[in-house]
């Protein structure tokens, strides 16, 4: 099964960025944990990170062209205001799970709203890097 893992803005700074909220693992570490898990489950995983909204949208469209079968996406701050990423997810017929390291529901008010989650089959938040593994599991369970 071909699955894309998409990380939004500032997630390339994991490990440096507010470790008390996002943990001390780097994005490379998280990706390699996912890669190992993917090998166990015989998944073909592709990883993408960008700090730009347009690049995330271009990549979601590429997922369609490449016949990707599932997406795990952490839209990061775009979660809260990117109707363009919402529309991109809606444009492609690929089940997506939204994930967040932190529990966005217990943080600042502006983080409590996700405009992208309604374009996804579900959302997982608050389990640190495990949120990504749970997102992958959720995709496998719904295939
Ligand atoms: C985040 C939560 C967002 O509110 C924030 O802007 C991020 C990371 C998370 O994974 O907890 O960049 O998506």
DSSP per residue, 94-135: --EEEEESS-GGGS-HHHH--SSGGGSSEEEESSTTHHHHHH
The tens digit of pLDDT for each residue in 34-48 reads 999 999 999 999 999
**Cβ of residue 104 lying under 6 Å from some atom of ligand 1:** yes
CATH architecture of 2-142: 3-Layer(aba) Sandwich (3.40)
Q: Rounded distance, CA 87 to CA 45, Å?
A: 23
Ligand 1: atom nearest CA of 100 is 10
What pLDDT is attached to residue 98?
98
What pLDDT is attached to residue 7?
98
Ligand 1: atom nearest CA of 8 is 12
Q: Rounded distance, CA 42 to CA 5, Å?
A: 15
pLDDT band of residue 137 (cuts 50, 70, 90) is: very high
The one catalytic residue in 7, 22, 78, 132 is 22
Average pLDDT over residues 58-81: 98
Average pLDDT over residues 11-19: 97
Where in the chain are the domains? 2-142
* The two structure tokens encoding residue 50: 């960008």
Token pair 């992958």 is at which residue? 136
Using the Cα atoms of residue 32, residue 34, residue 37 and residue 42 in order, give the sign of their dihedral: negative
pLDDT, mean over the chain: 97
The tens digit of pLDDT for each residue in 77-101 reads 999 999 999 999 999 999 999 999 9
Average pLDDT over residues 96-109: 98
- The CA 102 to ligand 1 mean position distance, Å, reads 7
ipTM for the assembly: 0.99
What pLDDT is attached to residue 143?
76
Can you state the angle between helices 27-40 and 130-142, rounded to 10 degrees?
30
Q: Residue 109 burial by CB count (10 A; 0-12/13-18/19+): exposed, middle or buried?
A: exposed
Residue 14, number of CB atoms within 10 A of its CB: 22
Please state the length of the chain: 143
**Cβ of residue 33 lying under 6 Å from some atom of ligand 1:** no
């Amino acid at each position: 099964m071909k699955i894309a893992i998409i990380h939004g803005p500032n997630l390339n700074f994991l490990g440096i960025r507010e470790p008390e909220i996002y943990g001390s693992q780097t994005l490379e570490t998280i990706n390699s944990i996912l890669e190992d898990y993917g090998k166990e489950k015989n998944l073909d995983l592709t990883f993408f990170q960008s700090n730009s909204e347009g690049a995330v949208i271009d990549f979601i469209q590429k997922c369609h062209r490449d016949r990707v079968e599932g997406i795990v996406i952490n839209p990061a701050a775009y979660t809260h205001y990117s109707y363009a990423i919402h529309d991109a997810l809606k444009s492609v017929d690929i089940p997506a799970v939204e994930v967040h390291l932190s529990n966005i529901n217990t943080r600042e008010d502006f983080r409590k709203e996700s405009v992208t989650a309604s374009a996804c089959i579900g959302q997982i938040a608050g389990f640190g890097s495990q949120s990504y593994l749970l997102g992958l599991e959720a995709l496998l369970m719904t295939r």
